[in-house]
Amino acid sequence: METKTKLALLLAGSFSTQEDNVDPCSLLDCLPGDLAKLCEPIDWSCQPSSHYSMPLMLEMSNMFDSLIEQGYTGIIVVSGTAVMSEMAYMADLLWQHSEPVIFANLLTQGRVGLEEGLKNLNCSVLAALSHEARNRGVLVCSSGELFDAAEVVMIDPLSQDNVFQSTGKGSVGKIINGEIRFVRPNGRPVFLLRRPERTPVVEIVTASLGGGEKIIAALANDKEIEGVVLSGFGTGNISPSWVPHVRNLIRRRIPVAIVSRCFQGQVSRTGLYEGSFAKLTEMGVISGGHLSSSQARIRMSLGIGAGLTEEGLKLYLLNNPVDEETPELYK
């Protein structure tokens, strides 16, 4: 028996422009009739995306699962763009279904932006209907292009046609002559064996010229902190003034990860001085590989929430399998 096509249009944020205010509930009126009839709007939240949190995203991800159980064949999320890349990344780490989930960038500027936003809505629906979108996980639609949730970054929030891009690789698909064309494959993340029931508190400390010591010192004595991500200079190096506080965190068995603060950077063993990546990992700091600080924070929180051990976190942050229920990987 053929599955009936039914798309969930999840309204998860406000949609407005400088010149026009559009009621999210009327978005179906902006779609061609044959596409609109396949979509069912679900009014989930109208708060700005900057008000979102990881617990709220965990709740949204759980809702995605329930929508598939209800028979929806794809999900389109309309939300603000401020933290859309992080929302999509977290959702992708938890999404183990074949059905597509697409975050649509509708929050653009002015009359041209309004037209661009509606083009993205149309593109998102077409993508969600495409058989080629299956098993691609979570995608972000912006400027008529589709980006992998693991790669997408916000470039210019005020741009009318270049809000998001994919670092180094470009989009995985785009709308051409009214049709969705996927131009390259995209990978999927490794999945946790257990689904997190909470999102432990993990904070980021970013290296700056002579700065950050007071922040890392405060976190080292914080009773609620469960993980810390260090966003280091270059290939993953920090000021030596941070080192005693990092040692204090590790002594308390608080996981600490190191990533590069550079736009397309990754950590690497390039020096042996105090505060270098090599010295940090000798102390027990976990490598975040090529992850951005926000991605490492999300992975660490989900990993801790799923009960990963320190060894499990080391594997998970580098996207290595953690799908065996063993004492080495899970508590």
CATH of the domain at 96: 3.40.50.1170
Which sign does the torsion angle of CA 22, 24, 25, 27 carry?
positive
Query: What integer pLDDT is reported at residue 3 of this predicted model?
Result: 66
**pLDDT band (50, 70, 90) for residue 1:** very low
In terms of domains, do 265 and 154 share one?
Answer: no
In terms of domains, do 139 and 265 share one?
Answer: no
**pLDDT band (50, 70, 90) for residue 24:** low
In terms of domains, do 34 and 137 share one?
Answer: yes
Per the CB < 8 A criterion, the answer to whether 253 and 226 are in contact is no
329 belongs to a structural domain: no
In terms of domains, do 154 and 212 share one?
Answer: no
Per the CB < 8 A criterion, the answer to whether 329 and 308 are in contact is yes
Query: What integer pLDDT is reported at residue 103 of this predicted model?
Result: 96
The one-letter amino acid code at 126 reads L
pLDDT tens digit sequence for 206-264: 999 999 999 999 999 999 999 999 999 999 999 999 999 999 999 999 999 999 999 99
pTM score of the predicted model:
0.94
Residue with tokens 């942050």: 317
Query: What integer pLDDT is reported at residue 114 of this predicted model?
Result: 60
- DSSP-derived secondary structure letter, 308: B
The residue range of the domain holding 127 is 7-182
**pLDDT band (50, 70, 90) for residue 18:** very low
Q: Is the pLDDT of residue 138 over 70?
A: yes
In terms of domains, do 141 and 223 share one?
Answer: no
Q: Is the pLDDT of residue 112 over 60?
A: no
pLDDT tens digit sequence for 153-206: 998 887 766 789 997 789 999 999 889 999 999 989 999 999 999 999 999 999
In terms of domains, do 156 and 28 share one?
Answer: yes
